[in-house]
A and B are shown apart, each in its own frame.
Chain A
Amino acid sequence: MAADGLHENETLASLKSEAESLKGKLEEERAKLHDVELHQVAERVEALGQFVMKTRRTLKGHGNKVLCMDWCKDKRRLVSSSQDGKVIVWDSFTTNKILTASGDGTCALWDVESGQLLQSFHGHGADVLCLDLAPSETGNTFVSGGCDKKAMVWDMRSGQCVQAFETHESDINSVRYYPSGDAFASGSDDATCRLYDLRADREVAIYSKESIIFGASSVDFSLSGRLLFAGYNDYTINVWDVLKGSRVSILFGHENRVSTLRVSPDGTAFCSGSWDHTLRVWA
């Protein structure tokens, strides 16, 4: 009885090559039902006009890089932190569970009161950098993105990976669900943002431009899902038309990397945090 439980014919190499061949088959299956591109479907949607958004508030006071922020439930106060290490998402319904993403390649679900580990999620091949909870009716899923260039969707109850996508060319820094819960967007060091549809089980849009060469650090949707706001490591924020795939606007103001970005719960504004020690509210 080998300690590793090696079965007959099962070696590391054979498993690796089986995984590769399954990946190829999966991509073929996914392509079979892909009968149209998003920008084609969106041709009949009215184009957006001239976009003007300004900084309405600048919050100074941090002595160091802003790394993380979020909005309070009352929709106008913010919580921000200058902390390094783990990424933490608070369950929006109550504050009893925390879902964390970690540098050892796992995600974990914790019970705050008892400090107990409720479930752990294994499958990423490198550091997990971001995650987001699905706004779903009855399910319990979340999506994570990592340094292995993969975005993975998990079932919180079983701990299993439900879907995985591997189309980015570099680390995935941010993932965020589309408001209906049927898709999610990702931002990556490869300077692109992408949209993945969960029912079609594939990537359906890439948001990129030749002049944008720095990584996207943080993404979020406007309330209707028509706009995608993305903060980049080149200090800018790019606004994308989710349906048509075009870049609507570029926002300047920060003097260092934009590290975090969140639309307010009532959709009236969004806030960006930066390594320049400030936070800006845009409307």
Chain B
Amino acid sequence: MAASSAPLGGHSRVQRPHLSKMERMVVTMQDPDQGVRMRSQRLLVTVIPHAVNGSDIVEWLMQKYSIAEDEALHLGSLLVQHGYLYPLRDPRRLELLPDETPYRFQTPYFWTSTLWPAAELDYAIYLAKKNIRKQGALVDHEKEHYQQLHRKINHAWDLVMMQAREQLRAAKQRRKGDRLVIACQEQTYWLVNRPPPGAPSVLEQGPGRGPCTAGRVPMTLDFYRREVECLRRALGRARVKSSTCLEAYLKFSSQHGPHDPIMSGCLPSNPWVTDDDAYWAMNAPSAAVPTRLRVEQWAFSFRELLEDPVGRAHFMDFLGKEFSAENLSFWEACEELRHGGQAQVPALVDAVYQQFLAPGAARWVNIDSRTMEQTLAGLTQPHRHVLDDAQRHIYLLMKKDSYPRFLKSDLYRDLLAEAVVPLETKRRVFPFTRKPRHSSPSPAVLPASASGEPVGGDGDGET
């Protein structure tokens, strides 16, 4: 290898932590006591030491990381794809076969993070060697690259050819086994750094992800001033102790669990599984008769009631009966202001004032005098947040007062009683290994169901 360009080495390693982790992994795999079982591998007439079997690699990964075979095979394949392991027999294919196929660990010299980015000069030399050694050895994409490079570094071509011949000559002096290994190592390196068309390029960073270094954001005085200010504010923040916060997750998850189709399945069935979209029809935003689960969810929190258009409509009806529907209408108008277009702001603010806030307004809302005073003062310079305080006041009023009454009302009780509980639909074609609790079993099925059920056990013949 020519003395290549000083790689970005440390820099790229920091940026791509998965490479250092893979390196640590292969180092552990080569530990004489705890590592993968090494053997000598016979290849034609040579014997290559320190080889490992595909199946031994998989086995070792399964043991070391307590993972199943499929995950171990996948992890091992990634190591091969990134060039940290190479197959001895067919080095063109960077894949892991979980059998007797022999592999070897790549020398650190050729590690992805050590020698990156790959130098064009080196690639030219490599291709030249291949070409010299055996005419027609270059495959299509290599031929293309070779021609391109010939054009590009034409001025240094003599150097390329000279280096190529020199390396070939030096290689001839080596033992056959070493020669073979070095050739494999080099080939693997180039398969990773110059993948053939169709093969995934594991070194790609993706669009818009160039060096994420500082330097894009100037570390000025302003930057640090802002940071210091933010930290000072953060120090003064009121915190809640962890036990309280964490208990809240338990409560939320258990309350919402039955409403989570992935956790609990859904009735009549999950459309994605059975191709029957009855579930979507029944739960359409403006379904005439809401399902029971849906009506129950309105009792979880005021926010969830308002988020559901059907729930909100019924709540509006209820407020109408209590002669306080203007509160919800006012809240809705404020939402429109907050989320609407900038151009509409002055007109909307005015409309809200006329309808809800002006003395003698048709739908006057009852806000405390201080908030009203501040709001009216702010109206002289309307912006999208000018009604935030008034909106919050009315929101809290509804939440603390009207909402609890709604939940206790006959209206709500009747809705619950009339709500639909869909029946489980008969299953059509699908494979399953045990009878599920209902037709779209939750992916998180508990292990306690009956064992020994025959396949297709619900009596429906599979077509």
Contacts and interface: CB of A to CB of B under 8 A. Distances in A.
Interface in A1-55: 4-6, 10, 12, 15-16, 18-19, 22-23, 25-26, 29-30, 32-38, 41-42, 45-46, 48-53
B25 interface: yes
Contact of B17 (A190, A201, A235, A276): A190
B259 A223 contact: yes
Interface residues of A, number: 126
Given A96-B341, A147-B212, A182 B248 contact: yes
B19 to A, nearest CB: 9
Contacts of B370: none
B246 interface: yes
A5 B78 CA distance: 53
Contacts of B288: none
Contacts of A209: 65
Main secondary structure of the interface of B (DSSP, over half): helix
Interface string B243-264: 1111111101111110111110
B45 interface: no
Contact of B249 (A202, A242, A249): A242
B250 A161 contact: no
Contacts of B242: 33-37, 197, 200, 202, 204
Interface stretch (B29-37, B372-380, B439-447): B439-447
Given A36-B242, A114-B343, A211 B257 contact: no
A52 B240 contact: no
A227 B340 contact: no
B395 A138 contact: yes
Contact of A201 (B227, B237, B250, B392): B237
A16 B224 CA distance: 6
A205 to B, nearest CB: 9
Nearest to B241: A33
Given A12-B224, A137-B303, A226-B253, A104 B216 contact: yes
B249 A160 contact: no
B261 A223 contact: yes
B428 interface: no
Nearest to B443: A53
A90 B221 CA distance: 33
B224 A15 contact: yes
Given A227-B444, A252-B70, A164 B241 contact: no
A108 interface: no
Contacts, number: 296
Which of B17, B339, B447 neighbours the largest number of chain A CB atoms within 10 Å of its CB? B17
A122 interface: yes
Contact of A10 (B78, B212, B221): B221
A242 B253 contact: yes
B272 A269 contact: yes
Which of B18, B235, B254 neighbours the largest number of chain A CB atoms within 10 Å of its CB? B18
Contacts of B230: 123, 160-161, 164
Nearest to B24: A213
Interface string A54-88: 00110000000101000000011000000011100
Given A114-B343, A123-B230, A125-B214, A199 B245 contact: yes
Nearest to A36: B243
B175 interface: no
A202 B237 CA distance: 12
B446 A46 contact: yes
B207 interface: yes
Contacts of A51: 443-445
B106 interface: no
A84 B208 CA distance: 6
Contact of A22 (B226, B231, B240, B335): B231
B343 A123 contact: no
Contacts of B208: 84-86, 103
Contacts of A161: 226, 230
Contacts of B25: 213
A179 B213 contact: no
B116 interface: no
A147 B250 CA distance: 32
Contacts of B262: 53, 222-223, 227, 263, 267-270, 283
A112 B340 CA distance: 10
Contacts of B235: 22, 25-26, 29
A250 B270 CA distance: 21
Given A19-B231, A126-B216, A41 B247 contact: yes
A1 to B, nearest CB: 14
B280 A26 contact: no
A48 B257 CA distance: 12
Contacts of A201: 234, 237, 239
Given A38-B249, A225-B253, A259-B206, 9 more contacts: A35-B242, A48-B446, A52-B441, A123-B227, A124-B217, A137-B302, A180-B248, A199-B245, A252-B74
Interface of A: 4-6, 10, 12, 15-16, 18-19, 22-23, 25-26, 29-30, 32-38, 41-42, 45-46, 48-53, 56-57, 65, 67, 75-76, 84-86, 91, 93-94, 96-97, 103-105, 111-114, 116, 118, 122-127, 135, 137-138, 140, 147-148, 157, 160-164, 169-171, 178-180, 182-183, 189-191, 197, 199-202, 204, 209-211, 213-215, 222-227, 233-236, 242-243, 248-250, 252, 255-257, 259, 263, 266-270, 275-276, 281, 283
8 contacts: A42-B246, A113-B343, A124-B217, A164-B234, A190-B17, A222-B262, A252-B70, A268-B261
